[in-house]
Amino acid sequence: MTSGAALGLRERKKRATRAALGEAAVRLAVEHGAENVTVEMISEAAGVSARTFFNYFAAHDDAFVMIDADLAPRVTRAVLAAPEELPPLEALRTALAAELADVEGQSELWSLLPVVLDRSPRLFARVMAAQAGQEQELAHAIAVRLGREVPEATDACGGRETGLYAQLLAGVAGTAVRVSVGHWCTHPDTPFSKVFHEVFDQLAAGLTAPVAPAGADR
């Protein structure tokens, strides 16, 4: 997995500030309830100005669910720039691994986030909408990588017609990340990178059911 050291200084500072704001928002939401937490409270806890907050999050709610508007474009660029001989799944693995390089030091934060979402249907819906949008962008990148012509017009459901394979792979990749984070949060002694790559190894192997040890209950 790509380390933060591989990023430019400006990008590292930007990600660190966004992470600090997201962490402050989640912790405050657990303590006070998201509806009682203001932008000013989040900014003060993160040590930045309220004006700076909106350089990183488009809306108040985005901080609680740590939505990064630049995430999908970054992953898209990485997928499109990956070597041609790399299978789409491996291009996705590499791109997502780079984005998740800093997760290792945020186990408590990722454990608190489900608490916030469970208490706020509004925020949960915001997460679902953001993930759907990110998956649509990712499907577009996969389709382009496969040489498919992707029309600008939307399909009957409001998205681009990227083809079934691209849509499925984008959705599976998003699920793989969520499963990786969820499993790691409940098994913090295992390095996140190990969990992440094991999940993608299973996808690459076709999700063949594991063979139970002899004598084990099935």
| 123-162 residue pLDDT tens | 999 888 888 888 998 999 999 998 876 666 555 555 567 8
Confirm whether 98 is domain-assigned.
yes
How far out from the chain centre does Cα 1 lie? 15
How many domains are there within the chain?
A: 1
Confirm whether 217 is domain-assigned.
no
Confirm whether 14 is domain-assigned.
yes
Confirm whether 218 is domain-assigned.
no
| 37-50 residue pLDDT tens | 999 999 999 999 99
Q: How many CB atoms sit inside 10 A of residue 147's CB?
A: 6
Confirm whether 216 is domain-assigned.
no
Confirm whether 37 is domain-assigned.
yes
Confirm whether 212 is domain-assigned.
no
pLDDT mean across residues, the chain: 84
pLDDT of residue 182: 87
The CA distances from residue 173 to 54, 92, 191, in Å, are: 29, 7, 19
Q: Which has more pLDDT, 94 or 16? A: 94
pLDDT band at 93 (very low <50, low <70, confident <90, very high): very high
| 56-71 residue pLDDT tens | 998 889 888 876 777 8
Instruction: Count Cβ atoms within 10 A of the Cβ of residue 162 and give its class: 0-12 exposed, 13-18 middle, 19 or more buried.
Output: buried
Residue 139: left if φ>0, alpha if ψ -120 to 50, beta else—which one? Answer: alpha
* Predicted TM-score (pTM) of this structure: 0.76
Confirm whether 66 is domain-assigned.
yes
Domain that holds residue 105: 4-204
CATH code, domain with 114: 1.10.357.10
| 179-203 residue pLDDT tens | 998 898 888 888 899 999 999 999 9
Query: Exposure pattern of 38-56 as b/e (b: 16+ CB <10 Å)?
Result: ebeebbebbebeeeebeeb
